[in-house]
A and B are shown apart, each in its own frame.
Chain A
């Protein structure tokens, strides 16, 4: 590791960012090097706000869920008073996990190994015969479940941070906060995670999925078969018009802090604001009613943006929120330089009718996820690129220059990716 670090210290080794010439390059070594991954764990994942879950997943006091976030097994729960908490899921005795189900409702947690118990506020609550342990055993809190250093939320999206000195979540989010507002404002009743998470792995570096998740450039090419399907479903004119319009009517945005977004108008139907013929008269009437409520609540201008614009948001480093033909929330972590684990959820308005929910989930599945008409081809592209990086000694750079000289890059440019890479590079170089 030492030699890699010494050479890595030279600035410009990972990123070439020439704004004058309009050229942006990323070294392919950042996708293959175990040393880089070690640095990312310390300098990026352990210092950024990481998504742990949505408030709707813990509806009642005493609800809990278990989830791996940033390499650690965590418990995310509400205590008896209803307060949200996050603990490391490891017994203070000798380490076993104190909660081993995905979710549940419990007043406390009991470790199955030797039976130590904890209240759901983390307090050590084990009864032991007198004389076994010193009298003040654990009174100093050292035997409580270890709390995650920071837990914070914005519009019901909960994040943890392993850095006790991290700045508040809302400051970290910068321009991404108002995009979360757009998503949270879909419904007057709040939003919820739909049951059933898609958990899968991709044999590629995690940063390739960051790029891919808001890459408007690849859509028409990689997802030709999806658009062929869409043309059958909604008409060829609609699809080509929307795709042609990308250049003029879409934007790729730097939201600050490494967060980026593409926003535009895509051809597919949206469960909010954009019915397609396949949904019939009833579907259209229902969507019109949803739009009407939205206009009344937030005003026509904001309603038009919420309902009729499609947006792919990337929150640094690894939270994707795509408000497109459905809403997907996606997060992913590296297991190795060439392997990541992905979790994808669907987010939807609370109280949606069964018909609306079905349309939304159908829309989701047509494009997104391991069985969709699009995501598997993304996976193939990422894995294919990863194999290509074995030649990085001879073919060393990725090009991310598209649209760099434009005043306003479009969604099929690569400005949003440069945003990510600049922040990634800043943190990596500052940490060395």
Chain B
């Protein structure tokens, strides 16, 4: 894999993304890590300084975590703690662990720039706990970058295409 962005002399940015199927494979891999609760490996997919955000259901793509209330607006450090927390039995909402299955579809390369290549997808995530299966539906926007030969997440923003968290109640799993 080669680096995906080059900055031209004039200062404009051009980018040569990887193929869609390479990004698709990456997203499938990420989904599998989450479904299998391999959370440390999942965290390793994030680049230093990365963010992970989930705005409130129905938010627009330009939602800003410094101006609006989200569900989750983690920087890299807080995401580390989220992962640490989820590994403990004292994270009661996820103990015993819920079962989950993620479907990823409609993967598209949306653009790119200095910080990486923007990739979008649609997801449906089933989460089962206490004999109840809840469904999360939405789209995700990734900023991906090749670092040391591997795709890394610079930012992941998860938009729930739902009116509210009824009946799901919480986003205690990683979306």
Contacts and interface: CB of A to CB of B under 8 A. Distances in A.
Interface of A: 194-203, 222, 224-225, 228-229, 232, 339, 341, 345-346, 354, 357-358, 361-362, 364-366, 369-371, 373, 375-377, 379-381, 383, 387
A376 B166 contact: no
A379 B93 contact: yes
Given A366-B78, A371-B54, A377 B69 contact: no
B130 A383 contact: yes
Interface of B: 54-57, 59, 63, 65-73, 78, 81-82, 85, 88, 90-94, 130, 132, 163-172
B71 A371 contact: yes
B56 A365 contact: no
Nearest to B86: A225
A199 B66 contact: no
Contacts of B72: 365, 371
A201 B166 contact: yes
A370 B173 CA distance: 10
B129 to A, nearest CB: 9
Given A357-B66, A377-B91, A365 B85 contact: no
Chain A, interface SS category: helix
18 contacts: A196-B70, A201-B167, A201-B169, A229-B85, A339-B167, A346-B69, A358-B66, A361-B68, A364-B69, A365-B73, A370-B168, A370-B171, A371-B70, A371-B71, A371-B72, A373-B82, A379-B169, A380-B93
A225 B91 contact: yes
Contacts of B56: 196-199
Contact of A200 (B90, B92, B164): B164
Contacts of A364: 69
Contacts of B63: 196
Contacts, number: 113
A383 B129 CA distance: 11
B4 to A, nearest CB: 30
B168 to A, nearest CB: 7
B166 A200 contact: yes
A229 B79 CA distance: 11
B81 A199 contact: no
Given A365-B72, A371-B54, A375-B170, 14 more contacts: A195-B67, A196-B70, A198-B69, A198-B71, A200-B168, A200-B170, A224-B90, A225-B90, A354-B66, A358-B65, A365-B73, A370-B171, A377-B91, A380-B93
B73 A373 contact: no
Contact of A345 (B69, B94, B167): B69
A103 to B, nearest CB: 13
Given A200-B164, A201-B165, A370-B171, A377 B71 contact: no
A244 B67 CA distance: 35
A357 B67 contact: yes
Contacts of A365: 69-73
A357 B73 CA distance: 13
A128 B63 CA distance: 44
Contacts of A224: 90
Nearest to B175: A371
The 4 residue pairs across chains A and B that have the minimum distance between CB atoms: A371-B71, A376-B93, A200-B165, A196-B68
A354 B67 contact: yes
A376 B70 CA distance: 15
Contacts of A375: 170
Contacts of A203: 132, 167, 169
Contact of A195 (B69, B73, B82): B69
Nearest to A382: B169
B170 A371 contact: yes
B71 A369 contact: yes
B18 to A, nearest CB: 31
A198 to B, nearest CB: 6
A203 to B, nearest CB: 7
A317 B167 CA distance: 23
A197 B69 contact: yes
A236 to B, nearest CB: 15
A398 B71 CA distance: 32
A230 B65 CA distance: 21
Contacts of A222: 92
A361 B72 CA distance: 10
A339 B166 CA distance: 10
B66 A373 contact: no
Nearest to B55: A196
Nearest to A383: B130
Contacts of A366: 78
